[in-house]
Structure 1
Amino acid sequence: MAENVLKISNLKVAYGGIKAVKGIDLEVNKGELITLIGANGAGKTTTLKAITGTLPACKVEGEINYLGASIRNVNSFEMVKNHLAMVPEGRGVFTRMTILENLMMGAYIRNDKAGINADVEKWFTVFPRLKERASQLAGTLSGGEQQMLAMARALMSHPNLLLLDEPSMGLSPIMVEKIFEVVRNVSAQGITILLVEQNAKLALQAAHRGYVMDSGAITMSGNAKDMLNDPKVQAAYLGEG
């Protein structure tokens, strides 16, 4: 039986009278790459922020279980200790720190120096552009390079679950392809991923399963390859049909 890493049940999020998320169910099993797709404003980022406890003042209802335990009222800074990491929309790198310093910040909960150094080399192999610029300030990197750095920094914490929020946003087509190549590489290493993404085609091509979110509700879910060929998904999100 598949091991549940994340299970969301009847999640509702409201900002005043505005219902941003309307009672969704979603689960991610160990080793899966799950994508949550939908138009801008569908509630995808709000869902991720509800998981990580980083929402502004609002009403949150429902269950969010991570590795079998509720994280509804867990402080966001405790999440990394529990090996749950998120790469936020907009990347959020430490712009006045070097690439290497950013990576070390990703490992701040660890004290295994040899292991940390080995991981730096490991992710430099996956992201060779970062190795070339290891002593460069993160703020001087291109958007795509900052996205790579944000992902590598999150991976330094050895996450049991990696949340990716719109990793392709604002990037050139060539860089988008590169980012998705890295996402597939990370998934192939057995790291469990929940990917929120507007580029539905690339997301579904990379994922094992997918969920479609529209106006705060899950309107469809299933095998990602099947969803790629679904006429409704093609018409709404893939510009086909």
Structure 2
Amino acid sequence: MAALPVTDVMLKVEGLKVAYGGIQAVKGIDLEVRKGELITLIGANGAGKTTTLKAITGTLPECKVEGHVEYAGQPIRGKTSFDLVRQQLAMVPEGRGVFTRMTIHENLLMGAYTRDDKAGIADDVDKWYGIFPRLKERSAQLAGTLSGGEQQMLAMARALMSHPQLLLLDEPSMGLSPIMVERIFEVVRTVAAQGVTILLVEQNARLALQAAHRGYVMESGLITMTGPAQAMLDDPKVRQAYLGEE
């Protein structure tokens, strides 16, 4: 894999706009993720969070995208998702996107398709089986037969097999049981502690802000608030709008 330029800013988004036909889904946002940070982007359904991640990774359907996106100091607008994985930027999409007709083990190996270090790949498979013992127990099982939580574990482990320096997570807790949500967030914190920079889009604002260093609030295609995560947890407006408190 190509060496990344030395910079503290892993991701820089400036003036990002996305329009589907006459609908402006993202209306000119700025955000920044520094090396080693866990940043969360919170907001209601339809705020534009997933569209923002897809615009960053170039995985949107036919639409008009404007603005500037830099990863590790280099512009990445127009790059393919294949290029980005080679540059150690990976995304776990909303809905998991596992290869349903492949086994768990095959899915993990697909996550390492940009690598050729067989011993290292085998070590990483063992590492993620250690963190996700359920996957190890079911390693020969087709991914499509797994529960939603198990598929989320697999999607995260598969993305991490590419050794990303920046990991984008889109709604990892969606549709999961409370116990599984807690488990997924434990893993998010573990991965962040290992030095992987993370941008997390999440509807569970409380858990997201408790895990994050900084947060952004997105409403109707605009960033309406940003700041340290703890300060946002304590902010009355955030508490009322996103934490269900009066």
Give the structure 2 partner of residue 156 of structure 1: 161
Rounded to whole Å, the distance in 1 between the matches of 2:81 and 2:148 is 25
Aligned pairs (5 A) from 1:157-172: 157-172=162-177
Give the structure 2 partner of residue 14 of structure 1: 19
Rounded to whole Å, the distance in 2 between the matches of 1:67 and 1:190 is 15
Give the structure 2 partner of residue 49 of structure 1: 54
192, 212, 225: which one pairs with 2:217? 212
Rounded to whole Å, the distance in 2 between the matches of 1:74 and 1:206 is 30
219, 222, 238: which one pairs with 1:233? 238
Aligned pairs (5 A) from 1:75-90: 75-90=80-95
1:35-67 Cα shifts (integer Å, max 9, x gaps): 000000000000000000001111111100001
Aligned pairs (5 A) from 1:181-220: 181-220=186-225
Give the structure 2 partner of residue 223 of structure 1: 228
Q: Tell me how far 1:75 sits from its aligned partner.
A: 1.6
Give the structure 1 partner of residue 135 of structure 2: 130
Give the structure 1 partner of residue 105 of structure 2: 100
SS in 1 for 2:167: strand
SS in 2 for 1:60: strand
1:6-27 Cα shifts (integer Å, max 9, x gaps): 0000101111111100110000
Contact kept in structure 1, 2:129 and 2:135, CA below 8 Å: yes
Of all paired residues, the percent bearing the same amino acid is: 78
Q: TM (normalized to structure 2)?
A: 0.96
SS in 2 for 1:80: helix
Give the structure 2 partner of residue 74 of structure 1: 79
Q: Tell me how far 1:226 sits from its aligned partner.
A: 0.8
Q: Tell me how far 1:177 sits from its aligned partner.
A: 0.8
Number of residue equivalences: 241
Structure 1 residue identity aligned to 2:202: E
Structure 2 residue identity aligned to 1:78: D
Classify 1:148/1:54 alpha carbon distance in 2 versus 1 (closer, same or farther; 3 Å): same
Q: Tell me how far 1:78 sits from its aligned partner.
A: 1.3
The answer to whether structure 1 residue 61 and structure 2 residue 66 are counterparts is: yes
Give the structure 1 partner of residue 9 of structure 2: 4
Q: Tell me how far 1:120 sits from its aligned partner.
A: 0.6
Q: TM (normalized to structure 1)?
A: 0.98
Please provide the CA RMSD for this pair: 1.1
SS in 1 for 2:109: helix
Give the structure 2 partner of residue 147 of structure 1: 152
Q: Tell me how far 1:131 sits from its aligned partner.
A: 1.0
Give the structure 1 partner of residue 3 of structure 2: none
Q: Which runs of 4+ in 1 moved over 4 A?
A: none
Identify unmatched segments of 5+ residues in structure 1.
Answer: none
Q: Tell me how far 1:2 sits from its aligned partner.
A: 7.3
Identify unmatched segments of 5+ residues in structure 2.
Answer: 1-5
Q: Tell me how far 1:72 sits from its aligned partner.
A: 0.7
